[in-house]
Amino acid sequence: MGRRSFLAGAAALGLARAARAASPMGTMHGPVQPSWSSLVANYRYPDWFRDAKLGMWSHWGPQSVPAQGDWYGRFLYMQGQPMYEHHLKTYGHPSVAGMKDIQNLWTADKWEPDALMARYQKAGAKYFMALACHHDNLDCYDSRYHAWNSLRVGPKKDIVGIWEQAARKAGMKFGVSNHAAHAWHWYQPAYGYDPTGPKKGERYDAFRLRKADGKGQWWEGLDPQELYTGGHAVLPDGIDTIEAMDKWHDANNGQWIETGPKDDPAYVTRWLLRQTDLVAKYKPDMVYMDDHELPFGPVGLEAAADYYNRSIGWHGQIDVVLTGKQLKPYARFGMVQDVERGFTDRLWDEPWQTDTCIGDWFYNTARQQDKSYKSAEEVIQRLADVVSKNGNLLLSIPQPGDGSIDSETEKVLDGMAGWVTHGGEAIFGSRPWRVYGEGPTQLIAGMQNEEKAKPFTAQDIRFTTNKGALYALFLGRAQGSTTIRSLARGRVGGTISQVTVLGGGPVAFRQDGAGLHLTMPHGVHFVPVVRIDGHGLV
C-alpha cells in the first residue's frame, strides 16, 4: 500500500469512527454538521448515481387500494370530489369508514418483489426506490416510533424491508422516499364534515375517534389521532356549500407547507425520530424527500447531516444521494435536486434527477382501461433528454393494492427492455457532451409541467458520450436522409471515421458546413441511436 492509499484509508477510518456517536435524538454525530455550508462542503456526487441514469420507484401504499389515483386519503374527505363519491358508494360514509380503514384493506397478496425487480432490471433500472411513508402517514416498514405501520396495519409485512432484500439480491442500489412531513396539513379535511346532504354537519372519523374508541375494533390499541396527526386547521361549523368548503380548505390547509404545526412541535420531533430510524434500519443508498429543499428548517438539516454521517460510517465516505426540490443557490451542491414531473432546458453542471410516473402516482384503474399510460417510446425519449442534460430518471410503476402490475404496464416495461438491449450503451455509464442536443421542440423548465410539453420530433436529437464514443439519440423515428447540425464541419473539432446505428450497422455519412448528413435505415426502432467514432470528438 502506498503512502497516499494508506493516508486515504486512515482518513476514511477516522471519519467512520467520528460518525459513530449518536445524539439523544438518534441523529449520528460526525464531520457533517446540520448546516447548508457543511452539507455543501462535504458532499460529493457518487459515481454509482452518475453512472446509473435510470431508477424504478414503487410509489405503492394503501392509497392504491381504491384504484382511483392520487391523494385519495385527502379527497375522500371532501364532498363533491369524485373520490368522495367513490368512497361513499364503495366503503361507506367517511364519518365511519375513513382512511384508517382503507389502510387496513391493503393486502399485497399478489406481490412478487423478486419477479418485479427482475422485470425492472431488464428494463434498464440500476436503482430501486420504495415508498416508506406517504402523506397518508402509514409507515410501510418496521417503524420504531410510529404504531401505524405496515406490520400492524394492512399487509402485516415489512414492505420496505422486503423490497430492500429484493433490490440488494439483484445487485441494485436501494432508496426510500419519505413524504410524511406534509401529513399534518394534508390530512386536515379528515376533521371536516359534509356541508350539504343527509349527513350535513356530521364530523368525519378523524374528528370523532380516540384510542379508547378502538376497543373491540380491528384497530384496537391504535390511536387515530396519531394517524390523522391532530386537528391543526379544522373546518369551522356553519359552512353549508361545497364551494365555501373548498375555498376554506384551499386557504387554510391546501398549500405546500415546509414548516411544522405551530400547535404541536412534537410532530416535528417524531418526524425526525422516524426518519433516522428508517435510515438506520435499511441503510438506503438514496433518500427522496418530497420537500422544497428540506422539511422543518434546522430539523431537516439534522436529518441530512445524520444521513451523510451514517454513510461515512457505512462506506468511509458520503456515497449516498439525498434529493430535494427547488434548491436555492445556498443549497445547490449540498444534495441532489429533483425536478418532479418536469423538465430542464439546459445542461446542468451537477447531476440531478427528474421523477415521473407512467400513470398516476397511485394506481388508477382508468389508466389501464383507457390505455393512457406513457408508452415505452415516451419513457425512452424522456430518459434520453434527461441523461443528455446530466440527469437521472426515476420512473414510478403503479401497482394496485394487491401488489401486481397490469398488462398495459407490462407492455411498457417490455418495450423499454427491448430498447435497452441495443440503446443502453448510449445511456448507462455515459456523460454529457459539450451541448445536450438540438431540435425544434422547446421545453419549459420547471416542475409539474409534463402535460404542456409538445411531442418530440425526428429533428430533436440528444447527445451523450461513453468510453470515447459520441452518441446521437433521435427522439423521433428518424429514417432516410437526416442531418445533425451540431456536427457540422467547423462547428466541431476532430474527424469522424464511422457512424453506426445501434442494433443495426454502419450507415453512409457525409460531413460539411451544414452538418453531418446520414442515411438512416427505414423501419428503425423508436428513439434510434447512432454511435459516432473518430478522433477529437469527445
Q: Cell numbers 423501419 correspond to what residue? A: 523
Between CA 519 and CA 279 the distance in angstroms is 52
Domain assignment present for 77:
no
In a domain, 376, yes or no: yes
Residue 215, in any domain of the structure: no
Q: Which of 232, 239, 233 is nearest to 201 (CA)?
A: 239
Q: Do the domain assignments include residue 280?
A: yes
Among 387, 432, 464, 422, smallest CA distance to 52 is for 387
Q: What residues contact 279, with CB distance under 8 A and at least 6 apart?
A: 287, 306, 307, 310
Measured CA to CA, the distance from residue 53 to residue 390 in angstroms comes to: 9
Residue 176 placed within a domain: yes
Q: Which of 292, 320, 298, 300 is nearest to 308 (CA)?
A: 320
pLDDT number for residue 2: 35
Quote the pLDDT of residue 25. Answer: 58
Sign of the CA dihedral running 337, 343, 348, 351: positive
Are residue 415 and residue 467 in the same domain, yes or no?
no
CATH number at residue 506: 2.60.40.1180
User: 10 Å Cβ neighbour count for 218?
Assistant: 10
Final residue before a domain boundary, out of 379, 398, 426: 426
Distance CA 502, CA 474 (A): 12
Q: Tell me: do 417 and 325 sit in the same domain.
A: yes
Please check whether residues 414 and 441 belong to one and the same domain: no
Interatomic CA distance for residues 153 and 136, integer angstroms: 13
Please check whether residue 91 lies inside any domain of the structure.
no
If asked whether residues 276 and 381 sit together in one domain, one would say: yes
Residue 458's closest CA among 438, 442, 487? 438
**Residues 271 and 297 both lie in one domain:** yes
d(CA 16, CA 532): 44
Task: Please report, for residues 73, 93, 192, the alpha-carbon distance to residue 195 in angstroms, rounded to integers and kept in the order given.
Answer: 19, 14, 9
Residues 422 and 527 in one domain: no
Q: Which domain does 463 fall in, by range?
A: 432-535
User: pTM for this structure?
Assistant: 0.94
Do residues 44 and 319 make contact, with C-beta atoms less than 8 angstroms apart?
Answer: no
R_g of the chain computed on alpha carbons: 25
- 220 inside domain: no
Residue 517 in grid coordinates: 448528413
Task: Please provide the size of the chain in residues.
Answer: 538
Q: Which residue is listed with cell 474527424?
A: 495
516, part of any domain: yes
User: Are residue 468 and residue 378 in the same domain, yes or no?
Assistant: no
Are 332 and 357 found together in one domain? yes
Asked which of 365, 397, 426 is the last residue of a domain, the reply is 426
Note whether 49 and 172 are same-domain residues.
yes
Coil, strand, or helix at residue 434? Answer: strand
Residues 421 and 505: their CA atoms lie apart, in Å, by 15
pLDDT means per 10 residues, the chain with 538 residues, are 32 40 69 98 98 98 98 98 98 98 98 98 98 98 98 98 98 98 98 98 98 98 98 98 98 95 96 98 98 97 98 97 98 98 97 98 97 98 98 98 98 98 98 98 94 94 97 95 96 94 95 96 91 96
Can you give the CATH number for the domain in which 345 is found?
Answer: 3.20.20.80
Q: How many domains does the chain have?
A: 2
Which of 404, 426, 448 corresponds to the end of one domain?
A: 426
Nearest to 31 by CA among 305, 292, 237: 305
372 & 393 share domain: yes
| Residues 311 and 288 grouped into a single domain | yes
- Are the beta carbons of 260 and 185 closer than 8 angstroms? no
Question: 362 with 461, same domain?
Answer: no
State residue 28's pLDDT score.
84
